[in-house]
Amino acid sequence: MADSAEIPQLSDRLRAILPSGCAGNRLLAALRPADLAALAPHLSSAELATGQVLFDAGQDVVTTTLPCYGSMVSLLVITRDGDEIEVASIGREGAVGGIVSAGFKPAYGRALVRIPGPAMTIPTARLEEAKARSPALADLFARYADVLLAQMMQSSACNALHSIDQRMCRWLLSTHDRANDATIRLTQETLADMLGVQRTTVTAVAKALQDEGLIRTGRGRIEIVDRPRLERRACECHGQIEAHFQRMLPEVAE
């Protein structure tokens, strides 16, 4: 596993005060050394566990979490009946908590860890102070807030218009991008919850994709076998969001 030593432009002094693992988050790795130095004393390493709730609807957001390497967090809307639907997923390319509202406001939805792994956390108030002092830092996070909103806009169109088959392929692509691994560790039950459909529907779609040689499923895991064909089978949404990300945040895109 890499650490902050992988960010090439750092001075030895800055390297020494950064928590190890910072380079695992692309937003942090894209910061100017001066901005990273301003954040460094307030950054902490954390280990995210599957099912961990970072914040829930109505709670004040006081911590911003930056997933590292292959960890992933879902932003969910929860209905009165307790159904949940994913509106955004955030991995090492981003941050969750107070990104659009600048923190201290009640959260609208729930942030739930889907794929466990390391993360950096920072008190949202400290991040806001640093943004107030550095236009470059504020600009990076404002552009990230834009792509996060774009992802939510695309998700609402996707949920309304695209077939479950296409949506599942889209989800597999975006998770594959972040997982650092061809194997995604997730049960079909969880996938059904995220897509807002019955478990039997996910099982049927997964079987069809497996029969066609696109994926291989096992207990609690889905392996991507043929990425190009999966891309052709998915709706346009993944490609659209990726293209917007590349335009808005070229220094963060991989």
Please report, as ranges, the residues that interact with Zn ion according to CB under 5 A: 158, 162, 235, 237
Alpha-carbon distance of 214 to 185, in angstroms, equals 17
- For the bound state, the minimum distance from the C-beta of residue 2 to Zn ion, rounded and expressed in Å, comes to 33
The answer to whether residues 116 and 178 touch, using CB atoms and an 8 Å cutoff, is: no
- Closest C-alpha to 128, from 91, 89, 97, 92: 97
Give min distance, CB of 71 to Zn ion, in A.
24
Q: Considering only the C-alpha atoms of the chain, give the largest distance between any 2 of them, rounded to a whole number of Å.
A: 55
Closer by beta carbon to Zn ion, 126 or else 162 = 162
Q: Which strand (E) or helix (H) includes residue 65?
A: strand 63-67
C-beta closer to Zn ion: residue 127 or 235: 235
Smallest gap, in angstroms, from Cβ of residue 237 to Zn ion?
A: 3
Phi-psi region of 103 (alpha: psi -120 to 50; beta: other; left: phi over 0): left
Cβ proximity to Zn ion, 127 vs 237, nearer residue: 237
Q: 162 or 216, CB closer to Zn ion? A: 162
Q: Min. distance of Cβ 84 from Zn ion in angstroms?
A: 18
Least separation in angstroms between residue 86's CB and Zn ion is 12
Question: How far is residue 137's CA from residue 34's CA, in Å, rounded to a whole number?
Answer: 10
Distance CA 254, CA 251 (A): 8
CB of 142 or CB of 164, closer to Zn ion: 164
